[in-house]
Amino acid sequence: MKKFYPGRANESFAYYSRVIILSVALMTAAFVTASAQGLVFQNPALISGTAGQDGAVYRFPSVTTNVDALVRINGRSSSLVKLESIDITDRGFGKAFQPQVTCNNGTTPNGNYDWWMEFGISFVKANTENPVNVANFDITAIDIDGNGDELNEWVSFYNLSSHTFEANTQLTYTTVMELVNNVMTLVGKKFSGPVTNYVDIDTAATRVMTSVKYVNRNDLRIRTGGHSTGRSGAADRMYSFWFKSFGFSNPVQVGLPVTLKSFNARLENKKPVLNWVSAVEKNVSHYTVQRSTDGKEYNDITLVFANGNTNMESSYTITDNAISASAKGTVYYRLKMVDIDGQFKYSETRLLRLGEWDRNVSIMMYPNPAQNEIRIMVPAKWQNTRVDYQVYSLNGQVIKQFVRTNANQTEVLNIDQLPEGAYMLKVSAEKETATQMFIRKK
């Protein structure tokens, strides 16, 4: 986008359980839908950390009814990258999120140089830090262009459902891969603009715009970046993200090859049974089912051909007959979803614990204490039903929550961003509830 010029104490388990019961009576999980005008980002205030530094968190109040957005600086490519403003208001669009980011005080080093700053955005109940899911929303990145010479901008979105751009777009896009559970996984899309400089920040300039769609999200990540092929004095850039969609003259919508509605693992007659349902299949070739005994090294166990291009649900079920009915221990399963061009992505991992275990209304959790993740096993009668998971601090505040409409035997909960300390996990299915305390250590 355009160059920016200056001027412009230990207590008992019973006590904590009572705290949680009282808190549950006061708290409910929130699910909201963005209004027709989209989400509105205005009037940010720094609420923690040092302004402009990694870890700083800004609150944007009332992005939609009874919902605030917390914007966190997750990181940057180097110390040369600086946040000049979390939200520019004297140009662009007042309702958009418009950070100003510079590189090397506005002048890039010689040669090919790439830089970025990453923002994490989470939605919370107004004036709190209690998470809220927004059912459906779009984000349009406006004016992803260059300086007319040696510099162009780029942006990346993570965990999006699909994206739309003009058929004659000047943007190029590539997949973003990251290491997830020791596996290189497709996690997002990177959109790079041309060197061409488009005048002003104009929603009519659809050739340098893209709209991305999110479904049922509580948080997301965005990277603002740039690339120069020589020393450029235009590395003081403004980005504009308007949380709504816009009309394109000749739109092209691109989704990920497979959208999974569910992926479940369960034991039937002491045999692992895997079931998955795809909501959308576009250009899908096949699924490769993979198994691991340590969660790191996976082997292919079978190949299942996809039904093909369809917007209808497709359901698949396989039984892993290679596992002995007398086997014990933990096995891990995942899907490798391959499209007709050979690109692929992995599903979430599902865990099964083989052998007998306590089938009373209780949960098993391990390891405890834990550093990065805990595994939660639920009773057999809860599997394939709706199960709600909530993590509470010991003062009764909801820290994390998620729902499984068709629960697996074992779920993995990532806790690497929780502060060190003690927490309570509450797991509910129908009218039954189980709780267990766990410790997060570094």
Query: What's domain 258-354's architecture?
Result: Sandwich (2.60)
pLDDT for position 11: 39
pLDDT at site 294: 81
Residue 206 sits at φ, ψ, to 5 deg, of: -70, -15
Least confident residue range of 136-150, 158-172, 209-223, 400-414: 400-414
Strands 30-32 and 132-142: parallel
Task: Cite the residue boundaries of each domain of the chain with CATH code 2.60.40.10.
Answer: 258-354
Looking at per-residue pLDDT, the higher value among 231 and 281 belongs to: 231
**How far from each other are the two terminal CA atoms of the chain, in whole angstroms?**
41
Residues of the chain with CATH 2.60.40.1930: 364-440
Inform me whether the pLDDT recorded for 330 exceeds 60.
yes
Chosen CATH of 364-440 out of 1.10.10.10, 3.40.50.1100, 2.60.40.1930, 3.20.20.140: 2.60.40.1930
> Cα torsion at 91, 95, 97, 103 (round to 10°)?
0
Check residue 284 and give its pLDDT: 78
Between 29 and 442, name the one with better pLDDT: 442
Look at 166-180, 229-243, 279-293 and tell me which has the smallest mean pLDDT: 279-293
pLDDT in tens, 212-265: 999 888 999 999 999 999 999 999 999 999 999 998 999 887 765 567 788 888
Q: Is the dihedral of CA 56, 61, 63, 64 positive or negative?
A: positive
**Pair of tokens at residue 70:** 């917390």
- The model's pTM is 0.59
Give the tens place of pLDDT for each residue, 58-91.
999 999 999 999 999 999 999 999 999 999 999 9
Model pLDDT, residue 20: 36
**Span 109-131, mean pLDDT?**
95
Of 24, 30, 242, 241, the closest CA to residue 123 belongs to 30
Each residue's pLDDT tens digit, 369-406 = 888 888 888 887 888 888 888 888 876 778 888 888 88
